[in-house]
Amino acid sequence: MDIIKIYTQAKNIIIENPSITLPPIAVAILSGIFSYFMKGIRPSLFFLNPAHLGAFFGAVFLFSIAIGILGLIASGVTITMCYDVLSNGKTSLGRGFEKVMEKLLDIVVAAILMGIIVVVGFILFIIPGLLAMLFLMFTLVIVIVDDASASDAIRKSYMKVKENIGNVLIFIIVAFIVFLIVGIIGKIIEKIPLIGMILLSPIISGATTAYLNAALTIFYLHLRVWANVDHENKRCIIHTNPDCYYVAEHVEEGEWLSFSTLTDAENYCRIEFPEYSIERHC
Protein backbone atom coordinates (compact mmCIF):
# COMPACT_ATOMS: atom_id res chain seq x y z
CA MET A 1 0.00 0.00 0.00
CA ASP A 2 1.24 3.47 -0.89
CA ILE A 3 1.04 5.32 2.44
CA ILE A 4 2.45 8.52 0.97
CA LYS A 5 -0.39 8.50 -1.56
CA ILE A 6 -2.85 8.44 1.34
CA TYR A 7 -1.24 11.48 2.94
CA THR A 8 -1.20 13.23 -0.43
CA GLN A 9 -4.89 12.53 -0.90
CA ALA A 10 -5.58 13.90 2.58
CA LYS A 11 -3.64 17.05 1.72
CA ASN A 12 -5.66 17.54 -1.46
CA ILE A 13 -8.93 17.10 0.41
CA ILE A 14 -7.90 19.71 2.98
CA ILE A 15 -6.79 22.17 0.30
CA GLU A 16 -10.00 21.74 -1.68
CA ASN A 17 -12.19 21.82 1.45
CA PRO A 18 -10.47 24.19 3.93
CA SER A 19 -13.58 24.36 6.12
CA ILE A 20 -12.62 20.90 7.39
CA THR A 21 -9.83 22.54 9.39
CA LEU A 22 -12.02 25.11 11.14
CA PRO A 23 -13.29 23.01 14.11
CA PRO A 24 -9.84 21.84 15.32
CA ILE A 25 -8.38 25.29 14.67
CA ALA A 26 -11.10 26.87 16.83
CA VAL A 27 -10.37 24.42 19.66
CA ALA A 28 -6.63 25.02 19.35
CA ILE A 29 -7.12 28.80 19.53
CA LEU A 30 -9.23 28.46 22.69
CA SER A 31 -6.52 26.31 24.22
CA GLY A 32 -3.85 28.80 23.17
CA ILE A 33 -5.69 31.73 24.73
CA PHE A 34 -6.15 29.85 28.01
CA SER A 35 -2.49 28.82 28.07
CA TYR A 36 -1.42 32.40 27.43
CA PHE A 37 -3.38 33.73 30.38
CA MET A 38 -2.24 30.87 32.62
CA LYS A 39 1.36 31.79 31.91
CA GLY A 40 0.62 35.32 33.04
CA ILE A 41 -0.42 34.23 36.54
CA ARG A 42 2.23 35.00 39.13
CA PRO A 43 3.10 32.14 41.54
CA SER A 44 3.35 34.65 44.40
CA LEU A 45 -0.45 34.96 44.37
CA PHE A 46 -0.73 31.43 45.73
CA PHE A 47 1.49 32.23 48.70
CA LEU A 48 -0.52 35.33 49.56
CA ASN A 49 -3.80 33.44 49.43
CA PRO A 50 -3.64 29.62 49.32
CA ALA A 51 -7.32 29.53 48.32
CA HIS A 52 -6.24 30.84 44.94
CA LEU A 53 -4.29 27.64 44.37
CA GLY A 54 -7.43 25.51 44.63
CA ALA A 55 -9.30 27.85 42.32
CA PHE A 56 -6.43 27.70 39.84
CA PHE A 57 -6.32 23.90 39.69
CA GLY A 58 -10.11 23.76 39.57
CA ALA A 59 -10.17 26.08 36.59
CA VAL A 60 -7.46 24.10 34.83
CA PHE A 61 -9.31 20.84 35.47
CA LEU A 62 -12.65 22.13 34.17
CA PHE A 63 -11.05 23.75 31.16
CA SER A 64 -9.17 20.55 30.34
CA ILE A 65 -12.42 18.58 30.36
CA ALA A 66 -14.13 21.19 28.18
CA ILE A 67 -11.25 21.25 25.71
CA GLY A 68 -11.19 17.45 25.65
CA ILE A 69 -14.88 17.27 24.74
CA LEU A 70 -14.57 20.05 22.18
CA GLY A 71 -11.53 18.31 20.74
CA LEU A 72 -13.50 15.08 20.34
CA ILE A 73 -16.30 16.95 18.60
CA ALA A 74 -13.83 18.75 16.34
CA SER A 75 -12.11 15.49 15.38
CA GLY A 76 -15.47 13.87 14.75
CA VAL A 77 -16.51 16.73 12.50
CA THR A 78 -13.30 16.55 10.46
CA ILE A 79 -13.66 12.78 10.05
CA THR A 80 -17.30 13.14 8.99
CA MET A 81 -16.51 15.89 6.51
CA CYS A 82 -13.61 13.95 5.03
CA TYR A 83 -15.77 10.86 4.65
CA ASP A 84 -18.49 12.95 3.00
CA VAL A 85 -15.98 14.26 0.46
CA LEU A 86 -14.80 10.74 -0.31
CA SER A 87 -18.35 9.39 -0.55
CA ASN A 88 -20.26 12.27 -2.15
CA GLY A 89 -17.63 14.67 -3.41
CA LYS A 90 -18.87 17.47 -1.16
CA THR A 91 -19.32 18.35 2.50
CA SER A 92 -20.32 21.09 4.92
CA LEU A 93 -19.72 22.08 8.52
CA GLY A 94 -23.43 21.71 9.23
CA ARG A 95 -23.45 18.12 8.04
CA GLY A 96 -20.32 17.40 10.07
CA PHE A 97 -21.77 18.75 13.32
CA GLU A 98 -25.11 17.04 12.70
CA LYS A 99 -23.50 13.62 12.37
CA VAL A 100 -21.28 14.13 15.42
CA MET A 101 -24.21 15.24 17.57
CA GLU A 102 -26.05 12.06 16.57
CA LYS A 103 -23.08 9.95 17.65
CA LEU A 104 -21.87 12.12 20.53
CA LEU A 105 -22.69 9.59 23.25
CA ASP A 106 -20.83 6.81 21.46
CA ILE A 107 -17.92 9.16 20.78
CA VAL A 108 -17.63 10.18 24.43
CA VAL A 109 -18.03 6.62 25.70
CA ALA A 110 -15.41 5.41 23.24
CA ALA A 111 -13.03 8.15 24.37
CA ILE A 112 -13.56 7.25 28.04
CA LEU A 113 -13.02 3.54 27.41
CA MET A 114 -9.93 4.27 25.34
CA GLY A 115 -8.61 6.55 28.06
CA ILE A 116 -9.08 3.90 30.72
CA ILE A 117 -7.41 1.21 28.61
CA VAL A 118 -4.46 3.45 27.74
CA VAL A 119 -3.98 4.66 31.33
CA VAL A 120 -4.03 1.10 32.65
CA GLY A 121 -1.56 0.20 29.92
CA PHE A 122 0.82 2.97 30.94
CA ILE A 123 0.57 1.90 34.56
CA LEU A 124 1.76 -1.51 33.39
CA PHE A 125 5.21 -0.19 32.46
CA ILE A 126 4.36 2.17 29.57
CA ILE A 127 4.74 -0.23 26.61
CA PRO A 128 1.24 -1.72 27.02
CA GLY A 129 -0.10 1.83 26.99
CA LEU A 130 1.66 2.60 23.72
CA LEU A 131 0.34 -0.63 22.23
CA ALA A 132 -3.17 0.27 23.39
CA MET A 133 -2.91 3.63 21.63
CA LEU A 134 -1.76 1.85 18.48
CA PHE A 135 -4.50 -0.78 18.42
CA LEU A 136 -7.26 1.73 19.24
CA MET A 137 -6.25 4.30 16.62
CA PHE A 138 -9.25 3.66 14.34
CA THR A 139 -11.88 3.71 17.09
CA LEU A 140 -13.27 7.21 16.51
CA VAL A 141 -13.24 6.76 12.74
CA ILE A 142 -15.17 3.49 13.03
CA VAL A 143 -17.75 5.03 15.38
CA ILE A 144 -18.51 7.66 12.75
CA VAL A 145 -17.90 5.95 9.42
CA ASP A 146 -19.43 2.58 10.34
CA ASP A 147 -22.02 4.03 12.73
CA ALA A 148 -20.69 1.59 15.33
CA SER A 149 -21.10 1.53 19.09
CA ALA A 150 -18.14 2.38 21.31
CA SER A 151 -17.39 -1.22 22.27
CA ASP A 152 -17.80 -2.50 18.72
CA ALA A 153 -15.54 0.25 17.39
CA ILE A 154 -12.82 -0.67 19.88
CA ARG A 155 -13.06 -4.32 18.86
CA LYS A 156 -12.96 -3.52 15.16
CA SER A 157 -10.04 -1.13 15.59
CA TYR A 158 -8.05 -3.82 17.38
CA MET A 159 -8.80 -6.35 14.63
CA LYS A 160 -8.05 -3.88 11.85
CA VAL A 161 -4.64 -2.98 13.26
CA LYS A 162 -3.86 -6.63 13.97
CA GLU A 163 -4.69 -7.61 10.38
CA ASN A 164 -2.64 -4.76 8.87
CA ILE A 165 0.15 -4.15 11.37
CA GLY A 166 2.83 -3.51 8.72
CA ASN A 167 0.94 -0.76 6.91
CA VAL A 168 -0.23 0.68 10.23
CA LEU A 169 3.33 1.04 11.53
CA ILE A 170 4.39 2.83 8.35
CA PHE A 171 1.40 5.15 8.66
CA ILE A 172 2.28 5.91 12.29
CA ILE A 173 5.91 6.65 11.44
CA VAL A 174 4.87 9.16 8.77
CA ALA A 175 2.33 10.72 11.16
CA PHE A 176 5.03 11.03 13.83
CA ILE A 177 7.36 12.79 11.39
CA VAL A 178 4.60 15.22 10.40
CA PHE A 179 3.75 15.83 14.06
CA LEU A 180 7.41 16.39 14.95
CA ILE A 181 8.01 18.89 12.15
CA VAL A 182 4.84 20.82 12.91
CA GLY A 183 5.64 20.76 16.63
CA ILE A 184 9.04 22.35 16.02
CA ILE A 185 7.53 24.99 13.76
CA GLY A 186 4.83 25.69 16.34
CA LYS A 187 7.37 26.20 19.13
CA ILE A 188 9.30 28.65 16.99
CA ILE A 189 6.17 30.60 16.08
CA GLU A 190 5.08 30.73 19.73
CA LYS A 191 8.04 33.05 20.32
CA ILE A 192 6.19 35.78 18.43
CA PRO A 193 4.65 37.98 21.16
CA LEU A 194 0.95 37.36 21.83
CA ILE A 195 -0.20 36.48 18.32
CA GLY A 196 2.22 33.56 18.08
CA MET A 197 0.75 31.62 21.00
CA ILE A 198 -2.93 32.51 20.70
CA LEU A 199 -3.35 32.56 16.93
CA LEU A 200 -0.56 31.47 14.58
CA SER A 201 0.63 28.36 16.42
CA PRO A 202 -2.96 27.16 17.12
CA ILE A 203 -3.87 27.60 13.45
CA ILE A 204 -0.96 25.40 12.41
CA SER A 205 -1.72 22.87 15.14
CA GLY A 206 -5.44 22.73 14.32
CA ALA A 207 -4.86 22.42 10.59
CA THR A 208 -2.40 19.59 11.20
CA THR A 209 -4.92 17.79 13.41
CA ALA A 210 -7.51 18.03 10.63
CA TYR A 211 -4.95 16.79 8.11
CA LEU A 212 -3.99 13.76 10.20
CA ASN A 213 -7.65 12.95 10.88
CA ALA A 214 -8.32 13.08 7.15
CA ALA A 215 -5.36 10.80 6.47
CA LEU A 216 -6.53 8.38 9.16
CA THR A 217 -10.02 8.27 7.64
CA ILE A 218 -8.67 7.60 4.16
CA PHE A 219 -6.30 4.98 5.54
CA TYR A 220 -9.14 3.17 7.28
CA LEU A 221 -11.21 3.12 4.10
CA HIS A 222 -8.25 1.68 2.21
CA LEU A 223 -8.07 -1.13 4.74
CA ARG A 224 -11.70 -2.17 4.52
CA VAL A 225 -12.39 -5.74 3.44
CA TRP A 226 -14.62 -6.38 0.44
CA ALA A 227 -16.69 -9.49 -0.18
CA ASN A 228 -18.24 -10.42 -3.50
CA VAL A 229 -21.25 -12.72 -3.19
CA ASP A 230 -21.48 -14.95 -6.25
CA HIS A 231 -24.98 -16.43 -6.03
CA GLU A 232 -24.70 -18.33 -9.30
CA ASN A 233 -21.75 -20.41 -8.14
CA LYS A 234 -22.62 -20.17 -4.44
CA ARG A 235 -19.36 -18.54 -3.45
CA CYS A 236 -18.52 -15.78 -1.01
CA ILE A 237 -15.25 -14.31 -2.25
CA ILE A 238 -13.40 -12.20 0.31
CA HIS A 239 -10.77 -9.79 -0.97
CA THR A 240 -8.11 -9.20 1.63
CA ASN A 241 -5.82 -6.90 -0.33
CA PRO A 242 -6.44 -3.23 0.61
CA ASP A 243 -6.18 -2.25 -3.05
CA CYS A 244 -9.44 -4.10 -3.65
CA TYR A 245 -11.11 -1.03 -2.18
CA TYR A 246 -10.59 0.53 -5.58
CA VAL A 247 -11.36 -2.65 -7.52
CA ALA A 248 -14.74 -2.99 -5.84
CA GLU A 249 -15.78 0.51 -6.83
CA HIS A 250 -15.51 -0.36 -10.50
CA VAL A 251 -17.02 -3.85 -10.54
CA GLU A 252 -20.70 -3.96 -11.45
CA GLU A 253 -21.33 -7.71 -11.48
CA GLY A 254 -22.17 -9.57 -8.31
CA GLU A 255 -23.07 -8.29 -4.87
CA TRP A 256 -20.27 -6.29 -3.25
CA LEU A 257 -20.23 -5.81 0.51
CA SER A 258 -17.83 -3.81 2.65
CA PHE A 259 -16.61 -4.84 6.11
CA SER A 260 -14.37 -3.36 8.77
CA THR A 261 -12.39 -6.54 9.35
CA LEU A 262 -11.69 -9.88 7.74
CA THR A 263 -13.35 -11.62 10.69
CA ASP A 264 -16.56 -9.63 10.18
CA ALA A 265 -16.61 -10.55 6.48
CA GLU A 266 -16.13 -14.25 7.17
CA ASN A 267 -18.76 -14.30 9.92
CA TYR A 268 -21.26 -12.55 7.66
CA CYS A 269 -20.75 -15.08 4.88
CA ARG A 270 -21.07 -18.02 7.27
CA ILE A 271 -24.29 -16.71 8.79
CA GLU A 272 -26.02 -15.28 5.72
CA PHE A 273 -24.86 -17.89 3.19
CA PRO A 274 -24.07 -21.06 5.15
CA GLU A 275 -24.23 -23.21 2.02
CA TYR A 276 -21.76 -21.02 0.12
CA SER A 277 -18.03 -21.68 0.01
CA ILE A 278 -15.78 -18.96 1.42
CA GLU A 279 -12.74 -18.02 -0.65
CA ARG A 280 -10.01 -15.45 -0.16
CA HIS A 281 -8.79 -13.66 -3.26
CA CYS A 282 -6.79 -10.59 -4.24
Tens of each residue's pLDDT in the chain, 282 residues: 678 989 999 999 999 999 999 999 999 998 888 877 777 665 555 555 656 666 667 777 888 888 889 999 999 999 999 988 887 888 889 989 998 999 899 999 999 999 999 888 888 878 888 899 999 999 999 999 888 899 999 998 998 898 888 889 999 999 999 989 998 998 888 788 878 778 888 899 999 999 999 999 999 988 877 777 777 777 787 776 555 544 444 444 456 677 767 777 888 888 888 888 887 765
Residue type, 37: F
| Domain boundaries along the sequence of the chain | 3-222, 225-281
**DSSP code per residue over 184-210:** HHHHHHTTSTTHIIIIIHHHHHHHHHH
pLDDT recorded at residue 261: 73
Distant-in-sequence, close-in-space partners of 111: CB < 8 Å, separation ≥ 6: 68, 72, 140
Q: Is 125 helix (H, G, I), strand (E, B) or coil?
A: coil
pLDDT at residue number 101: 92
Rounded CA gap, 21 and 75, in Å? 10
Sheet containing 255-259: which strands, arranged edge to edge?
A: 255-259, 225-230, 235-239, 277-281
